[in-house]
Structure 1
Amino acid sequence: MQVPLIDESRYDEEMSRKVLPALAQCRTEGWMEPAEADGLAAPATPGKLHYVCYDAAKFDDLDEVGASATFRGAIVISHGFTEFAAKYSEMVWYFLLAGYSVCVFEHRGHGYSVRDVDNPSLVWIDDWHRYVADLAKFADTIGKEYADGMPLNLFCHSMGGGIGAGVLETRPTLFDKAVLSCPMIAPATAGLPNWLAGAVANVLCSVGLSRHIVFGQSEFTPELDMADHPGASEARVRWFQQQRIDDPHQQTYAATFEWLRQALRMSRAIQKPAACGEIETPILLFQAGRDVWVLNEPQNRFVREVNADGGDARLVRVSDSLHEIFSMPNVILGPYLAKILTFFGSDEMAAL
């Protein structure tokens, strides 16, 4: 399935004059209480988790060019590390055109969700299981409400993909299909092997640096160097950056040592063969050939482990893409999006 792509040469204009006004007319904003789960302590900081949802029926009433006008269910979006709901406006637009309601959940410590540190640049979490439990609760309540008895699918990126994998392993029947886009099955840890980075994080957290910024990372600044995004769509990257500049809630930018420790613990847990064997949801995993934020080989092993126990996972490698495939030029974004929509809309993986 294909939908018309935004013209990169007129990106800001199309986003401001067409996409965002249309999304505003079918958008609902809400807050959810954090999940309560066995073995999970009360959150360090009380507060609610933020989300935004987009109703496909209201969107169809707008008669936008390219809209399918056929309701196909709902898609829950699980964003990546330091991201926020507004960053996915373009992807939400495409999913609405294809006939899906969309529910975007802002993970704890991100966007307008409750945070456990005062510095708006930093992300801290006390227990990675909290991410998984919160996303599962959101999908099981808000997501199912918007799916309205039709398929409930998952689209997740990077850290959100690691969290999504945890949900797929612990709630095997919650989602009908799942797209893991460059998932953080294992993070890249500045050239250190994950086991050594974990050991360092353990030591530093034990001496009181749990909320300290990871060495080598920096707080948010408005400056943007496109040399850090070689080959990406400049229009998209600059638009993402402007969203951060315009809203301090969207300026998360760096990890704390506790976040790093928990990310590595989550990575080890979701790669266990027994955990992979619990997955029943069909998975389409996209891998970026030029990824510097997550490791490729653990993704390969994850797919093999899922399939080894009777699961249904397929890996699609986008050799010339950076980590954020949805930030690439239309020549890469188009086939990527078409594969996602075909996967969600087909009965068989072979249709891809």
Structure 2
Amino acid sequence: MKKCNSNSSIISELDFKIKNVEKYISHSKYKEDMINKVEPYLKKKLENGYIIGEKGLKLYYEKFICENAKANIVICHGFGECTEKYYELIYYFINEGYSVFIIEHRGNARSQRLGIDDYQISVDKFSYYIEDFKKFIDEVVIPNGNDKKLLLFAHSMGGAIGTMFLERYQEYFSGAVLSAPMHEINTGKVPKFVATSIARIMKLCGRGNQYLPGQETYNGEKRVSARSTSCKERYEYQFNKVKNTKSYQTGGSSAGWYLEGAKVTKEMVKKKNASKVKIPILLFQAEYDTHVMPRGHYKFAGYAKNCRVIYIKGSKHEPYFEIDKIAFAFIERVLSFYSEIIN
């Protein structure tokens, strides 16, 4: 199996023993347990608020503080997501003794929107995500972190934001999990150079704020075969949450967002940038991911000083939201990694 560098390796599949399966929420009773167990538990611990991000944007966040916490986990979510998408994961983190902090990025969920309608994801500069994230950590996480270590959990687009943050600000985190990080965008059947050319032409014609071809506004339609997870129960639960909560509803991206994303993904995997990341990194790559390309993962891992890539056999884009045998093994590996860092 290919080696990325002396500290990095590619593992053929995620094979990790689940020590106590009873602590997990099974898809067999998923909706029932989320409503009767997880949601009430988190509601008691939830504190929320807003910060003012770059260019004066109002950004929503949530925090869950554990008494005598082991450390602090900061979640950096993916494209079009909201805090509730991570409630199952947050539940596990809290039960393991971690305080958890999560912010909804600009243009997503309850944070201020930026698109041409109420649903489009757009951004003027990708770097605003990073500076928003830093402000959140400086103003909310650190003052409530009781001087304990900071650990990052970053997924997909959040993985790109988290990676750029780690490259710019090396002094904050002690370790990071990158879940299917957006180190290279998967443009599907359309070649990357074609997608980029179309987006550039749109921007030159003053239409950079329009939906990129193939992208569309939120329409409330259910996908028969979800692109991001194989777990019907988790997908259905989240689908209904979004359908019934207008602020959670998001559509596709603008041409401008795509150009910003494509530009930063090229930069973050370059040696001069990735080599600045010296903390332990656990990077998960999903076998059936149709959102991001694995090539970017290998480039980043090859230059980062201490990055291990784990290939998750059978998983789609969201391993933390997959069928039980994948999700539970994934979470066990994440918890083991965090434990190694703080002990």
Query: Which of 305, 314, 318 does residue 320 from structure 1 map onto?
Result: 314
Deviation at 1:196, TM superposition (A): 4.0
Deviation at 1:147, TM superposition (A): 2.3
Root-mean-square deviation (CA, aligned residues, Å) is 1.8
Aligned residues: 324
Deviation at 1:153, TM superposition (A): 0.6
Task: State the match for 1:62 in structure 2.
Answer: none
Task: State the match for 1:203 in structure 2.
Answer: 201
Counterpart residue identity of residue 56, structure 1: C
Deviation at 1:111, TM superposition (A): 1.0
Q: Determine helix, strand or coil for the equivalent of 1:254.
A: coil
* 1:75–1:143 CA contact under 8 A, matched in 2: no
Deviation at 1:22, TM superposition (A): 0.8
Whether 1:182 aligns to 2:193 is no
Deviation by residue 1:94-135 (Cα, 9 ceiling, x = unmatched) = 110111111111000001111222522201100011011111
CA–CA distance in structure 2, aligned partners of residues 332 and 195 of structure 1: 34
Deviation at 1:195, TM superposition (A): 4.1
CA–CA distance in structure 1, aligned partners of residues 60 and 325 of structure 2: 33
Sequence identity percentage: 28
CA–CA distance in structure 2, aligned partners of residues 127 and 330 of structure 1: 37
* 1:226–1:234 CA contact under 8 A, matched in 2: no
Taking structure 2 as the reference length, the TM-score comes to 0.90
CA–CA distance in structure 2, aligned partners of residues 296 and 249 of structure 1: 32
Deviation at 1:229, TM superposition (A): 4.5
Stretches of structure 1 lacking an aligned partner (at least 5 in a row): 36-42, 58-69
CA–CA distance in structure 2, aligned partners of residues 50 and 14 of structure 1: 26
Whether 1:330 aligns to 2:324 is yes
Stretches of structure 2 lacking an aligned partner (at least 5 in a row): 1-17
Equivalent runs, 1:132-143 vs 2, <5 Å: 132-143=130-141
Deviation by residue 1:277-319 (Cα, 9 ceiling, x = unmatched) = 111221100000100000011101110111xxxx111011102
CA–CA distance in structure 1, aligned partners of residues 213 and 198 of structure 2: 11
Equivalent runs, 1:285-324 vs 2, <5 Å: 285-306=283-304, 311-324=305-318
Deviation by residue 1:33-53 (Cα, 9 ceiling, x = unmatched) = 114xxxxxxx3xx43111011
* 1:222–1:245 CA contact under 8 A, matched in 2: yes
* 1:101–1:146 CA contact under 8 A, matched in 2: no
Deviation at 1:13, TM superposition (A): 0.9
CA–CA distance in structure 2, aligned partners of residues 152 and 230 of structure 1: 28
Whether 1:50 aligns to 2:60 is yes
Q: Which has the higher contact order (CA 8 A, sep 6+)?
A: 2
* 2:184–2:262 CA contact under 8 A, matched in 1: yes
Deviation by residue 1:145-191 (Cα, 9 ceiling, x = unmatched) = 33211111110100000010000000012111110000000111133
CA–CA distance in structure 2, aligned partners of residues 347 and 81 of structure 1: 28
* 2:178–2:283 CA contact under 8 A, matched in 1: yes
